């Protein structure tokens, strides 16, 4: 799907380069089970944080070729000969890299590969306790309101792209398929919302041409790469295990902890000059 961005006010100066963005999420955004019972904070329940991640790759073709070569080298290594995840019929490492399924030895090699490439990682982090608090507050004001995980997904996409759509003449955005439904239009609508928010804030419009496609990670190596960055970030939040994130921190451009509102209502922005040291939530915000 293509979105034409028409400049109705001031045309922004932009590079002629094409931006290649790969988008995926960690966590499903689910708050309740089928009986309406809260899953957040319960054993075996939803993840404590929902994270929407974006990887910008300067040379996605080179990244793809290197990941394919790495996988071929690992498959040919007798060390992994009888490892279940390397059996093609399992549809795991033998087919595509997926941090959750890959062995620690494999993860290390993938992270080392990512460090050699010109990539930038951005993320929007939502504390599901804050989302739950917001939903309950909104239900108190409007009895007909019903939360759906897609609402959190779409709003996170809009936040993630708010300052990403004006920097190039053309953006190619590939997002990881979620479930069986085609949400390309909803994804594109979120990009339009991001564009409009930028325009309103700066009184400027964007002329960037945007192409949106959906794919499985096996089809786009960039999605495998962003999955690894998301895994490292989620590991930090879920298990307070930061060594993976620290290893690739040089590739992190910006992480927005939306619900760390102790000092500012818009949350906290972490970057190379302000490393991520944790996420604490006391206040509630809207989706």
User: Average pLDDT of 82-111?
Assistant: 96
pLDDT in tens, 161-211: 988 887 888 899 999 997 766 778 888 888 888 878 887 888 887 778 889
Rg (alpha carbons) of the chain, rounded to whole number: 19
In three state form, how does the secondary structure of 63-85 look? HHHHHHHHHHHHHHCHHHCCCHH
Query: Which pLDDT score is estimated for 180?
Result: 63
- At residue 30, the 3 state secondary structure works out as coil
40 pLDDT band, cuts 50/70/90, is: confident
Which residues sit opposite 269 in a β-bridge?
256
Query: Which pLDDT score is estimated for 176?
Result: 94
The whole-model pTM stands at: 0.87
d(CA 224, CA 220): 7
Query: Which pLDDT score is estimated for 75?
Result: 96
State both tokens at 87: 């059996």
Query: Which pLDDT score is estimated for 162?
Result: 87
Percent of the chain topping pLDDT 70 = 89
- Across all residues in the chain, what is the average pLDDT? 87
Sheet holding 15-26, edge to edge: 2-3, 209-215, 168-176, 15-26, 49-57, 119-127, 252-257, 268-270
User: Average pLDDT of 43-53?
Assistant: 84
Query: Which pLDDT score is estimated for 136?
Result: 93
Query: Which pLDDT score is estimated for 277?
Result: 59
β-pairing verdict for 252-257 and 209-215: unpaired
CA triple 168-271-51, angle to 5 deg? 80
Query: Which pLDDT score is estimated for 63?
Result: 98
State both tokens at 213: 């496609």
Q: What is the DSSP letter of 251?
A: G
User: Average pLDDT of 57-80?
Assistant: 97
User: Average pLDDT of 83-105?
Assistant: 95
280 pLDDT band, cuts 50/70/90, is: very low
Kind and range of the H or E run holding 244: helix 243-247
Percent of the chain topping pLDDT 90 = 63
Domains of the chain, residue spans? 2-270
Query: Which pLDDT score is estimated for 198?
Result: 84
The CATH number that domain 2-270 falls under is: 3.30.420.10
């Amino acid at each position: 799907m293509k979105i034409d961005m028409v400049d109705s006010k001031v045309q922004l100066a932009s590079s002629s380069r094409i931006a290649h963005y790969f988008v995926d999420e960690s966590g499903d955004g689910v708050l309740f089970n089928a009986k309406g019972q809260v899953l957040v904070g319960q054993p075996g329940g939803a993840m404590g944080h929902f994270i929407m991640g974006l990887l910008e790759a300067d040379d996605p073709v080179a990244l793809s070729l290197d990941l394919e070569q790495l996988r071929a080298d690992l498959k040919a290594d007798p060390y992994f000969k009888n490892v279940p995840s390397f059996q093609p019929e399992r549809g795991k490492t033998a087919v595509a890299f997926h941090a959750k399924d890959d062995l620690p030895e494999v993860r290390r090699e993938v992270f080392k590969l990512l460090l050699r490439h010109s990539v930038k990682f951005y993320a929007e982090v939502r504390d599901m306790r804050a989302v739950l608090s917001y939903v309950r507050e909104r239900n108190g004001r409007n009895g007909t309101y019903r939360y759906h995980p897609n609402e959190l997904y779409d709003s996170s996409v809009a936040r993630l792209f708010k300052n990403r759509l004006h920097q190039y003449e053309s953006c190619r955005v590939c997002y990881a398929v979620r479930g069986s439904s085609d949400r390309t239009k909803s994804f594109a609508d979120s990009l339009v919302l991001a564009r409009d928010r930028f325009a309103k804030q700066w009184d400027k419009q964007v002329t960037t041409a945007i192409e949106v496609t959906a794919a499985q990670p096996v089809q786009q190596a960039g999605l495998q790469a962003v999955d690894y960055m998301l895994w490292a970030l989620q590991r930090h939040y879920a298990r307070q295990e930061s060594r993976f994130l620290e290893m690739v921190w040089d590739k992190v451009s910006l992480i927005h902890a939306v619900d760390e509102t102790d000092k500012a209502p818009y949350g906290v922005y972490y970057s190379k000059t302000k490393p991520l040291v944790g996420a604490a939530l006391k206040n509630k915000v809207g989706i």
